[in-house]
Amino acid sequence: AQSVSQHNHHVILSEAASLELGCNYSYGGTVNLFWYVQYPGQHLQLLLKYFSGDPLVKGIKGFEAEFIKSKFSFNLRKPSVQWSDTAEYFCAFRGTSYGKLTFGQGTILTVHP
């Protein structure tokens, strides 16, 4: 069965700290990978996505993610977080043989000013 695992449920950082959120998926075929963010009281927004090509993907607001096929991973990174990055982050993937999106459990990021 396909699944996504996010390693951390809650991450607490100070402003300017570097961020890396782990995401691993379980699926035997080609995948599309996504990171979504949900700011407090708002709807899910797409941060970045990977379909093919360069495995290092850059998204909005300075976020990037790297697809490492051998590790089935798609970790999200940001070199210097801001207070406004406080939100919940969801990793998701879709096997390209079937359009269903499978979401990870989510990681709550709290950034202290």
Partner 1 sequence: GAVVSQHPSRVICKSGTSVKIECRSLDFQATTMFWYRQFPKQSLMLMATSNEGSKATYEQGVEKDKFLINHASLTLSTLTVTSAHPEDSSFYICSASLAGGHTDTQYFGPGTRLTVL
Provide the binding-site residues for partner 1, judged by CB under 8 A: 32, 34, 36, 42-46, 49, 51, 90, 94, 96, 99-106
Q: Which is nearer to partner 1, 2 or 72 (CB)?
A: 2
CA 46 to CA 101: how far, in whole Å?
13
Minimum CB distance to partner 1, residue 33 (Å): 12
CA atoms within 13 A on the CB side of 67: 22
Q: Which is nearer to partner 1, 16 or 60 (CB)?
A: 60
Nearest residue to 22 via CA among 95, 82, 107, 84: 107
CB of 53 to partner 1, least distance (A): 12
